[in-house]
Every structure is written in C-alpha cells, then in structure tokens.
Amino acid sequence: MLMRDEVKAAAEAILFTRSEAVPLEELVEILDVGLLDLKPIMQELLLQYNQEKRGIQIVEVEGAYLMCTRPEFAGLLAGLHPPLRKRLSTAALETLAVIAYQQPVTRAQIEAIRGVKIDRIITMLLDRNLIEEAGHKTAPGKPVLYQTAPEFLKVFGLASLNDLPVLEEDIPDV
C-alpha cells in the first residue's frame, strides 16, 4: 500500500500522462486505494496546485480529474503552436447552447428553435467532440438525440452542466 505522499505523486503522474479527465473510480482502481482515502488526497492535490499558482492546474470535472494549463497562460501558449481548432461561429455557439440547455434534443427540435437548417453545424460539433449522440427518440422515424459531450465541459471550463449560466428567459420546449 502506498503512503499518502506516494499516492499524491502517483495520481499526479497519471493525470500528467492522460490528455483527458480520469474518473475518481479509475484512480481508486489504478492506485489500489479506498475511495474514502483517495477523495481527500485529490482535494489536497487540487488545493496545492491552486495555492502555489503553478503553470498547470488540476481541475475536477464531474467526479473526474484533469491536469491542464492555467487559463491565464492561454495567450502565451497560443503563440507557441498554431491553434488546433478554429473558433466557433455564432451559429455553432447558438446551436451548442440549445443542445446544452435542452438536452437530449433532436435535430428537428434544434431547427425549430433556431429557425434554420443545422446539418453542417451538427456535423462540425460532432467532429470537434463537443456533442454526441444520446440514443434515439421514441417517435416516428426514431430521430437521433444529441447531448453535450465531456469535451464541451472541458472547452468551456465547466465542472458540470449545473455550472451553465441561468437563462434570463426560457427556451421554448418544442
């Protein structure tokens, strides 16, 4: 059994080598540490990174942990490599917002809210892993349902969908 500092160091190494969030349950399994023991260790590691204002941080995203650069260094890092992804258009952001607030939602429901066709936008959002299919609606034709993907939370710096801003007015249900 690893000692507390060894568990912290091992968890840090795991997060460093992963480019995606690692669920707490997976860390429990890999590190062979009890959930009740690991949770405070991970919170301590998060606090340590935040207090020391390092260039990287560990964030918790829906019960999973991710090591990433601090937002204040985005401008500096942008100059090192060309951006991998283009910015999202207003139409893409609007479509993404409808999906985020109405999920799971069909293409027809999104089009009814936005009033325009969204075929290419849906394809682009799927390609960027910002949305994903969430099954099929039990309706004629069994249309595909869409929901936000974990990458959506990561890109927009949200710990969970509960962190979405509260809407001033409701989006009509379709």
pLDDT tens, 127-149?
999 999 999 999 999 999 999 99
State the total domains in the chain: 2
Is the pLDDT score of 86 beyond 80?
no
Q: What is the pLDDT of residues 14-41, one digit of tens each?
A: 999 887 889 999 999 999 999 999 999 9
Q: Would you say residue 43 has pLDDT above 80?
A: yes
37: tokens are 């023991």
Residue 145, domain member (yes or no) = yes
Residue 99 pLDDT = 96
Tell me: pLDDT of 159 over 90: no
Helix count and strand count (H, E) for the chain: 8, 6
The pTM assigned to this predicted structure is: 0.54
Question: Per the domain annotation, does 85 fall within a domain?
Answer: no
For residue 60, pLDDT beyond 70: yes
Asked whether residue 172 is domain-assigned, the answer is: no
The pLDDT of residue 84 is above 80: no
Query: 101 and 158: one domain?
Result: yes
Does residue 107 belong to any structural domain of this protein?
yes
Domain that holds residue 105: 90-163
Contact 142, 136 (CB under 8 A): yes
Looking at the DSSP assignment, which residues form a beta bridge with residue 132? 147
Task: With respect to residue 170, please indicate whether it lies within any of the assigned structural domains.
Answer: no
Strand, helix or coil for residue 135:
strand
Q: 81 by DSSP, 3-state: which?
A: coil
Bigger pLDDT: 118 vs 62: 118
Question: Does one domain contain both 111 and 157?
Answer: yes
Residues forming a β-bridge with 58: 67
| pLDDT at residue 51 in the model | 87
Same domain, 36 and 98: no
Question: What's the confidence (pLDDT) of residue 1?
Answer: 56
Same domain, 97 and 158: yes
CATH number, domain with residue 65 = 1.10.10.10
